[in-house]
Chain A
Amino acid sequence: MAKDIFVVVEQRVDENGVCVVQKVGIELIGEACKLAKDSGDNVVAVLLGHNFTDQAQMLIQYGASKVLVVDSEYLVPFMTEPYVKAVTQIVRDYEPSIVLFGASSIGRDIAPRVAGRVHTGLTADCTRLDIDVAKYQDFLRRTTSLQPEKIDALSSPEMAARLDPKLLKMTRPAFGGNIMATIVCPAYAPQMATVRPGVMEMPEKNPNAKGIVEEVKVDFVPEDRNVEILSTEHPKEKIVDITDAKVLVSGGRGVGGPEGFDLLRPLAKELGGEVSSSRIGVDNGWIEKSRQVGQTGKTVHPNLYLACGISGAIQHQAGMESSECIIAINKDDKCPMMEMADLGIQADLFKIVPKLTAAVKAYNEKKNQL
């Protein structure tokens, strides 16, 4: 009988050659703990890499009750086949009920192959997971356009008889964010999903948490290294993770070029935030790809999203619509971004942004004097 929720925790080798656990893995442990409360399962972290230090203990402090460690030189640097082999072996030996991966370029590289190898379903890029039907209904009522009678029907006796109480409901955007779909995998095990980084909340760390660390042996053979990594390049500038920023000052087509972003940077600095971009700024090479917000970029939910010259295509909205406060500055007062913003200002951003920067600066200085 399948049980327990497994989280495949991803590590990257940074520019100093150190294995670093990626944030999305911790976010997923937090989410898995919430699901486990509803289903009575345990949360098991799967840690793959080589020469670990105290990462396994850290995962326990974040909520895993057990950590399965595969430590092998075959796992550094990252290659598809050794990772797929290790995760597949764990899935077959431990028979988890659910397996979660980060929807990062590594997670999206290996998870489909693991699902293929064990012959089960995989749902990509989930933004919400539910086991408990009442919580799922609450989510549908609060945030979706689904008719109330359809939502109520989910808890009817007929439905309850038909549905496995442990069925994982995996919700994700599709059609460029135009539609949301909940996907289920009722007849195959495990139920597998990749989850977008930055979507699930970071859990609290409990330094007193206790758990089991178990080493898993995988028999790697030289043929598992079926590609050869010739070199790794880290970009020279430190990449900023915009998903961490509390404030994002974001530029779109209206900023007109790289110099438009130069105008936004001082404002972002005064607001204690970062600069981000819609797809157009990245496609035109005005700003680096790591700062792109949207369906093909990052999902962000800052306290403030200040959209400058962004019309707000649905693909962009998909990445920023859960921002707490949205302010838009745009010449076009009818564009979708103005419609979704808490405050939309029809104006020329080239005139407003420098004046706003000066006003915020003056405000901050005055506040610091008090």
Chain B
Amino acid sequence: MKICVCIKQVPDTAEVKLDPKTNTLIRDGVPSIINHDDRSAIETAIQLKEQYGAHVSVVCMGPPQADIALREALAMGCDEAYLLSAREFGGSDTYATATIIATALRKIGFDLVITGRQAIDGDTAQVGPQIAEQLHLPQVTYAEELKYEGGDTLIVRRQFEDQSHMIKIKMPCLITALTELNEPRYMSVKGITSAYQQEVNVWGFDALKDDLNPAWIGLKGSPTNVFQSFGKQLRQAGKVMTGLSDEQAVDAIMAKLIERHII
């Protein structure tokens, strides 16, 4: 089985702040991490490899610094890594990103593609399905359980808001992973050592250009663009009361509930 895992390196959004003057993100000093859902995608692939034998490739589009995310994936147990990095790829929206990644996946070859459900920075959940669309693959999104049934068959539990489905799907196919799938492992010391002895394959525009329409990628090739970005106005500051007795606290809340016609 040949598995390709697609990951994204993201800023830890819990740490990101907005510059109120420029309306841009302050990224200085904010750690970059492998996106949470993508980590579960890596773990799923490695578990399949350990149980049934598989070759696991990990693919990441991003700036040269994303090398570290790929080495972490190698240290977890992936077999080879590809960094898709080029000036031409910059500014890509989900359509353009999916176009670039799908082109790389065709070149690498796969039976199974696993992506995370969504990245914590963009939160779109669109790149996975759009890769599947470009590769003409059936998909199961929101996977919370995955079993290999032998041959080319997987059984996946798909989460819905109010129900779940057990779905049988034949490879080649694409799955988008939820963190519910598993508890991703840490890198092993041996893994870290070998991850730095391995090469990360760096593919720029030239490596993919024979199969890539330059009009469909990057900022110019993206159907959507950012029109404005801004922070939210803070709510009007309320009242914070400290050092109250229990009775005073209850009275204060009751007064507010009555004032706002809640009771």
Contacts and interface: CB of A to CB of B under 8 A. Distances in A.
B122 interface: yes
Interface string A223-261: 000111111111100010000000100000000000000
Interface string B52-83: 00000000000000000000000000000000
A124 interface: yes
Interface in B223-256: 223-235, 237-244, 246-247, 249-250, 252-254, 256
27 contacts: A77-B165, A112-B130, A113-B133, A115-B223, A116-B95, A119-B223, A121-B95, A121-B224, A144-B232, A176-B16, A180-B232, A182-B227, A230-B165, A233-B163, A235-B162, A239-B162, A295-B123, A304-B257, A326-B235, A327-B256, A340-B234, A343-B252, A345-B244, A352-B250, A355-B250, A360-B257, A363-B258
A144 B164 contact: no
B130 A345 contact: no
Contacts of B200: none
Nearest to B224: A121
Interface of A: 12, 77, 80-81, 84, 104-106, 108-113, 115-117, 119-125, 140, 142-146, 150, 169, 173-176, 178-188, 226-235, 239, 247, 271, 290, 295, 303-304, 313-315, 321, 324-327, 329, 333, 338-347, 351-352, 355-356, 359-360, 363-364, 367
Contact of A230 (B13, B126, B167): B167
A249 to B, nearest CB: 11
Given A178-B16, A179-B18, A181-B228, A121 B126 contact: no
A234 B241 contact: no
A117 B133 contact: yes
Nearest to A108: B125
A116 B13 contact: no
Contacts of A344: 238-241
Contacts of A234: 162-163
Return the 10 tightest CB-CB contacts between A and B, nearest first. Answer: A121-B223, A176-B13, A121-B224, A116-B133, A124-B124, A112-B129, A344-B240, A226-B138, A342-B238, A112-B126
A303 B160 CA distance: 27
Interface string B131-158: 0111000111110000000000001001
Given A121-B224, A344-B238, 4 more contacts: A180-B232, A185-B223, A321-B232, A351-B246
Contacts of B162: 12, 234-235, 239, 290
A202 B256 CA distance: 28
